[in-house]
A = this chain, B = another copy of it.
Amino acid sequence: MQFTTEQRLDDDIREREFTLGEIPGILWTPGSTAEPLPLILLGPPPLGLRTAYPRLLDRARHIVAEGYAVATIELPWSGDRPRSAAADQAVADLRRALAAGEPVDDGIVDRLILPLVDKAVPEWQAALDALLALPGIGGPVGYSGGVISIGTRLAVVEPRIAAAVLFAGSYVPRAIIEEARQVTIPLYVLLQWDDEGNDRQMALDLFDAFGSTEKTLNANMGGHTGVPQHAGEAAGRFLARHMR
């Protein structure tokens, strides 16, 4: 992990950009801190970190203010990372189906999401190795947001993640719903009831499938980006309860 830039934001948050091999990332920490910090991995939307930066920073500010370190990395094939022809084709097929008002078939969802999960999850684990090796970051570790299939797989395979906030805001392959049965950590799932880019019944099936005995679904009105402030705050309280 190589730090490439460092700045202090005006509310005394320290923002450091880094690269982990070819993968860019950002680490936010409180300006001053005595103890090793717990860490929240902030899953980005698949827009590229540069495009998503204002929203990510807004969420990071709130989380850092509660005394956490917050880190995110660029998803595969997003931002300035190399594209994938297969992923581009899957996105084009999805858009064509949606534009034609056709149901989105499982094949498209599988081609869109499964390779992304396969590639992203080991990258997040490598980032976690590097982040926990930094002085001042001690854990426990939580995961919040982003592509729900990535969060689900991470929750299955990565024992260092203590609790996760997942956003039911993207298509989910049936294989991931099966994997979800193996998740046992506490979960807080945010669902936008009228999300235009999401299948509500699939989100409910996924919530039902999670094996966790402690899981909450917090569903609110509105579209994909309309998560109300009170729901974000409730997710923050969930993480605070499980990361003491």
* Smallest beta-carbon distance A228→chain B, Å: 8
* Smallest beta-carbon distance A181→chain B, Å: 14
Is A221 touching B230 in the complex (CB atoms < 8 A)? no
Q: Is A12 an interface residue (CB 8 A)?
A: no
Q: Is A237 an interface residue (CB 8 A)?
A: yes
Q: Is A18 an interface residue (CB 8 A)?
A: no
* Smallest beta-carbon distance A26→chain B, Å: 30
Q: Is A217 an interface residue (CB 8 A)?
A: yes
Specify the chain B residue showing the minimal Cβ separation from A215.
Answer: B221
Tell me the chain A residues, 14-34 only, with Cβ under 8 Å from chain B: none
Which secondary structure dominates where chain A touches chain B? mixed
Q: Is A234 an interface residue (CB 8 A)?
A: yes
Is B214 touching A221 in the complex (CB atoms < 8 A)? yes
How many copies, total? Answer: 2
Cβ 8 A contact of A218, one of B208, B213, B217, B241: B217
Cβ 8 A contact of A216, one of B212, B215, B219, B238: B219
Q: Is A124 an interface residue (CB 8 A)?
A: no
Contacts of A217 in B (CB 8 A): 191, 193, 217-220
Q: Is A92 an interface residue (CB 8 A)?
A: no
Is A221 touching B213 in the complex (CB atoms < 8 A)? yes
Tell me the chain A residues, 151-179 only, with Cβ under 8 Å from chain B: none
Tell me the chain A residues, 202-237 only, with Cβ under 8 Å from chain B: 204, 207-208, 212-221, 228, 230-231, 234, 237
Is A193 touching B221 in the complex (CB atoms < 8 A)? no
Is B221 touching A218 in the complex (CB atoms < 8 A)? no
Contacts of A204 in B (CB 8 A): 204
Contacts of A237 in B (CB 8 A): 230
Contacts of A231 in B (CB 8 A): 216
* Smallest beta-carbon distance A71→chain B, Å: 26
Distance of A219 Cα from B215 Cα, bound (Å): 8
Specify the chain B residue showing the minimal Cβ separation from A187.
Answer: B221
Contacts of A238 in B (CB 8 A): 230
Binding site for B on A (CB under 8 A): 191, 193, 204, 207-208, 212-221, 228, 230-231, 234, 237-238, 241
